[in-house]
Amino acid sequence: MSLNSQILRHHHITLSVGSAQEDYDFHTKVLGLKSVKKTGLYDGHEPIYHLYYGNDLGDESTLITCFPFRQAGRMARRGAGQVKTLALSVPVSSLKFWTLHLKSFGFNPIYLERFGEALIKFAHPCGITYELVGIADDDRKPYSNGAIPSEFGIRGTHGVTVSVRDIENSAEFMQYGWSGSLSNADGAFTRYEVGSGGSGTIIDFEHEPDLLQGSWTYGEGAVHHCAFEVASLEAQRDVKLHLESMGYTDVSDRKDRGYFDSVYVRTPGGALFEATVSKPEGFMIDEAYEDLGKSIKIPPQMQSRAAEIAAYLEPLKY
């Protein structure tokens, strides 16, 4: 397998959000996604939820994962050097429905066009920008709990937008380090696609040279990282070695995240990317299908404090 085929598509995108209940209601009741896992942040010792939303099984490129940080009181600073926008794929015929649906929940969707795509822009309750992009042909199967008609449901991720002060270094990284293909430009936006291209593979860079640097630490109100699927641990190792051979030495060792294995790289524009390999069992490694996302799964390194952590974390009403 050539390196050019190893970065396949988005795997998940991870946000640092506000309260757990606010986030849960936004993703399950407003956007109509499925809660596929409730666990905790695997890094550090502080008890923080890690909430996963996606389609019925939480397939790659349908996943949004969230760390609610309001309980801990930690705030982020949005700015350059971060993923700033999460775009999700919906049928183009559904945009009118979504506009009315979002307004009924008190959101203020704005209609835009970019790269020839119609989209509506709005914000997560914690302030992170979301977009619903109208796509004519996306065969990813949406989850439907009845709140959103299945024919209008979210198919998965479409793209992310990364804010950068300098575009040249990011272009070099995408082309030679992350096997991205330059596909288009629209004003301050430059589009790259990985793998086979199309919805679920897109990385847009917005050139904002005068925007101050945003924070990189955990904290409410900013995207933490974007993860990309690779096919195997061998492919993941090859990506890591390739990046290091180019001089990108800010590449992590492999980290076991319970449901997938992760290698992180701080890109030259500042955004954190991840090369991810799913475990064969996926989210059913510790829960049966009918129980997915119904109870909290305490990370292994915190098992001795399981009762304490479960009692501390903000209770969720489903």
What pLDDT, on a 0 to 100 scale, did the predictor assign at position 300?
Answer: 82
Which of 303, 225, 236 lies closest to 270, judged by CA? Answer: 225
What pLDDT, on a 0 to 100 scale, did the predictor assign at position 75?
Answer: 97
Mean of per-residue pLDDT scores for the chain: 95
Confidence of residue 2 (pLDDT cuts 50, 70, 90): very low
What pLDDT, on a 0 to 100 scale, did the predictor assign at position 318?
Answer: 86
Report whether pLDDT(141) > 60.
yes
pLDDT digits (tens, 9 = 90+) for 74-119: 999 999 999 999 999 999 999 999 999 999 999 999 999 999 999 9
What pLDDT, on a 0 to 100 scale, did the predictor assign at position 247?
Answer: 96
Task: Please give the average per-residue pLDDT across 140-164, as a whole number.
Answer: 95
What pLDDT, on a 0 to 100 scale, did the predictor assign at position 164?
Answer: 98
* Look-up of token digits 């066009």: 113
- Reading the block at residue 135, the tokens are 């796509």
Report whether pLDDT(171) > 60.
yes
Q: Count the Cβ atoms, other than its own, within 10 Å of residue 148.
A: 22
Report whether pLDDT(136) > 60.
yes
Distance, CA of 11 to CA of 52 (rounded, Å): 12
Confidence of residue 310 (pLDDT cuts 50, 70, 90): confident
For residue 154, report the phi and psi dihedrals to the nearest 5 degrees.
-70, 130
Torsion of CA 77, 78, 83, 85, to 10 degrees: 140
Task: Please give the average per-residue pLDDT across 272-300, as a whole number.
Answer: 94
What pLDDT, on a 0 to 100 scale, did the predictor assign at position 193?
Answer: 97
Name the CATH superfamily for 3-312. 2,3-Dihydroxybiphenyl 1,2-Dioxygenase, domain 1 (3.10.180.10)
Report whether pLDDT(1) > 70.
no
- Every domain of the chain and the residues it spans: 3-312
pLDDT digits (tens, 9 = 90+) for 26-76: 999 999 999 999 998 877 778 899 999 999 999 999 999 999 999 999 999
What is the three-state SS of the chain? CCHHHCCCEEEEEEEEECCHHHHHHHHHHHCCCEEEEEEECCCCCCCCEEEEEECCCCCCCCEEEEEECCCCCCECCCCECEEEEEEEEEEHHHHHHHHHHHHHCCCCCEEEEECCEEEEEEECCCCCEEEEEEECCCCCCCCCCCCCCHHHCCCEEEEEEEEECCHHHHHHHHHHHCCCEEEEEECCEEEEECCCCCCCCEEEEEECCCCCECCCCCCECEEEEEEEECCCHHHHHHHHHHHHHHCCCCECCCEECCCEEEEEEECCCCCEEEEEEECCCHHHHCCCHHHCCCCEECCHHHHHHHHHHHHHCCCCCC
Confidence of residue 3 (pLDDT cuts 50, 70, 90): very low
What pLDDT, on a 0 to 100 scale, did the predictor assign at position 81?
Answer: 98
> Could you tell me which residues come within 8 angstroms of residue 93 by beta carbon, excluding any fewer than 6 positions away?
134, 151, 152
What pLDDT, on a 0 to 100 scale, did the predictor assign at position 301?
Answer: 79
pLDDT digits (tens, 9 = 90+) for 196-215: 999 999 999 999 999 999 99
Report whether pLDDT(311) > 50.
yes
pLDDT digits (tens, 9 = 90+) for 226-268: 999 999 999 999 999 999 999 999 999 999 999 999 999 999 9
CA–CA distance from 308 to each of 42, 58, 302 (Å)? 16, 28, 10
Q: How are beta strands 296-297 and 34-40 bridged, if at all?
A: parallel
